[in-house]
Amino acid sequence: MPTVYIPTLMRPATGGAEWVTADGDTVREVVAALEQSYPELTGRLVENGRLKPGLSVTVDGRIGARGLYETVHSDSEVHFLPAIGGG
């Protein structure tokens, strides 16, 4: 089952867990499983069928062009990364 890194600001929704597991063959399916297991995450990762603005996802260390349709394997590591501001 894929392992998912939860950003610090979203950890209250997972009971403080930094790493969780969620089943799925695509990032979209992983998000659906996360939202089912952790209802407080609903709407925090996806909005209107797309990744929320200011949020990126990596699968096995790569940011793919397919976003929510990126393939996820049973041993994959998925990271949701908030944008970093600066100047």
For residue 54, what pLDDT is reported? Answer: 87
Nearest to 70 by CA among 21, 2, 8: 2
Q: What is the pTM of this model?
A: 0.91
Instruction: Tokens 């996802």: give the residue.
Output: 57
For residue 87, what pLDDT is reported? Answer: 55
Q: Note the pLDDT tens digit of each residue in 28-57.
A: 999 999 999 999 999 999 999 999 988 899
% of the chain residues with pLDDT over 70 = 97
Q: List, as one string, the DSSP characters of 7-56.
A: -GGGGGGGTT-SEEE---SBHHHHHHHHHHH-GGGTTTSEETTEEPTTEE
Find the mean pLDDT for residues 73-84.
90
The fold of the 3-82 domain, in CATH, is Ubiquitin-like (UB roll) (3.10.20)
Using only the alpha carbons of the chain, give its radius of gyration.
12
For residue 85, what pLDDT is reported? Answer: 63
The domain spans of the chain are: 3-82
